[in-house]
Amino acid sequence: TSAGPTREGDFADTVALEGELTVPHVVLRGSSGDALLRVGGLFEPWAEFVDERRKEPLVWRVAETLRSTLSLTLPAGATLGTLPAAASVDSKLGRYTLRWSRSGDAVVVERELVRVARVVTPADFRELNRFLGDIRAAEHVAAVLTLPSEVRR
């Protein structure tokens, strides 16, 4: 397992992790051996919903591009069904893309958020919440795995 979130902008940084990863809410196992893999259960949201009653603007430190890539190596004998379609969400406040792919015995998930606006005024809070809701909906779509009996728990 490896993960590599990247941030570009005034505060650029990169984090790369490798090793085993156990995240109980990412894969939900059924009695049939089928499992659901959801991006939303692994990554933290990049922004929280805003209370639309708030009077002050929301100010992010920079307008930036955030990227995360996750590669999960599947257990031997596991089969992966059809991957979710790529998703794209556009708003005057930003752009978001999510892509699933296969690479050998791994499933790879890439997501990117481009924050176009650094300052979000109260007049745009409803639009921001719609944008974030559409992103969360895209991240809730699942890939279906069938796990071999020796991996099921």
Question: Token pair of 142, please?
Answer: 């699942």
| Higher per-residue confidence, 120 vs 79 | 120
pLDDT digits (tens, 9 = 90+) for 96-144: 999 999 998 899 999 999 999 889 999 999 999 999 999 999 999 989 8
Q: Round to whole Å and give the CA distance between 143 and 145.
A: 7
Residues 6+ apart with CB under 8 A from 54: 122, 125
Q: Round to whole Å and give the CA distance between 119 and 107.
A: 36
The answer to whether the predicted template modeling score (pTM) of the entire model surpasses 0.75 is yes
pLDDT digits (tens, 9 = 90+) for 9-62: 544 455 566 666 565 555 656 677 788 888 877 788 888 899 999 999 999 888
